[in-house]
Amino acid sequence: MSSVHNELSRILMVEQLPAMPHSALTVLQLDNDVAKVNINDLVRPIEADIGLAAQVLKFLNSSYFGFQSTISNVKQGIALVGIRVVKNFVLWKAVFSLIPKSNSASFDVTMLWQDSLRRAMFSRFLLLELKKGDPEMAFAGALLQDMAIPLLLKKKVKEYESILGRLAQSPHTRLSILENETFGWNHADAGAVLGTNWKLPQNLIDLIGNHLKIEEYAGNFEQHRERAVVSLSALLPSVVEAVWNERADFEKFFQSMFPNKTSLLTTIFDKVDREFEQYSMIIQVTKPKRPLFNYLDE
């Protein structure tokens, strides 16, 4: 075990972390190959948790899906929308409930979740448009790529306040660079340790831990489809940015991954903006003030 992993394991000690709800953990540990999952194996842990079952039914009956008739039970809903969609919703609700609120004036957890949902939807829609890879796994990986930041801010208050202050003064610098300079590790490394502690699926931990390695995957999309799009999504503009600081890098890597498909960005960004509003109401995340599509006009 590396010294970095040892240090992060001490910081994110299991006994000091909130526990992943048992019902959610049971759902998340089901095989990602839907052909190997009996729908009843997913239904049982959800229905055993009254609160989770109510949230899932609310999700299934939302305008996001637009079913003409009411979905009255979890099994019926899963059969209609698919196992992976419901698993991702359970994952979001579980992790969202475990992330602490921040007392920092320079960090807003709400904005982190806005960024995360945008990145998740971008990753899903991009693979769907290309008809390649696993859109739902990419969605989950992008959604949780920054989940360790609020916990690190709580555990390393002074250091992170200093990092965020430096970031505000130099917005073109990546957070991970400042983290590496300060700690010798970054939030992606921490996210992988956190995912292990919470017993998340290994392929999801892999996406979280590698989401900053765009250089490694941009030139080899066919071998690393989910890793590539999740790491590309990390370069999207944050909702707090007046200017898209990493646009040049994003466009360079996008062109490397998808030559002659620049027009696809217009389609994807527009779809993220349109779908975000419906999805965000379900998971109680406010809509960003500035649409993602607007950054293309800069």
Write the pLDDT tens digit of every residue in 25-48. 888 777 666 677 788 888 998 898
Write the pLDDT tens digit of every residue in 214-234. 999 998 899 999 999 999 999
Q: Mind giving me the DSSP string for the chain?
A: --HHHHHHHHHT-GGGSPPPPHHHHHHHTS-S-GGG--HHHHHHHHHHSHHHHHHHHHHHTSTTT--SS---SHHHHHHHH-HHHHHHHHHHHHHHHHSPPP--TT--HHHHHHHHHHHHHHHHHHHHHHT-S-HHHHHHHHHTTTTTHHHHHHHSHHHHHHHHHHHHH-TTS-HHHHHHHHHSS-HHHHHHHHHHHTT--HHHHHHHHTTT-HHHHGGGTTTSHHHHHHHHHTTSPPTT-SS-TTHHHHHHHHHHHSTT-THHHHHHHHHHHHHHHHHHHHHT-PPPSS-GGGGGG-
Write the pLDDT tens digit of every residue in 74-123. 999 888 888 888 888 888 888 888 777 766 666 778 888 899 999 999 99
Q: Can you list the domains of the chain with their CATH numbers? A: 3-297 (1.10.3210.10)
pTM above 0.95, yes or no: no
Write the pLDDT tens digit of every residue in 139-170. 999 999 999 998 888 888 889 889 988 988 88
Predicted local distance difference test score (pLDDT) of residue 269: 94
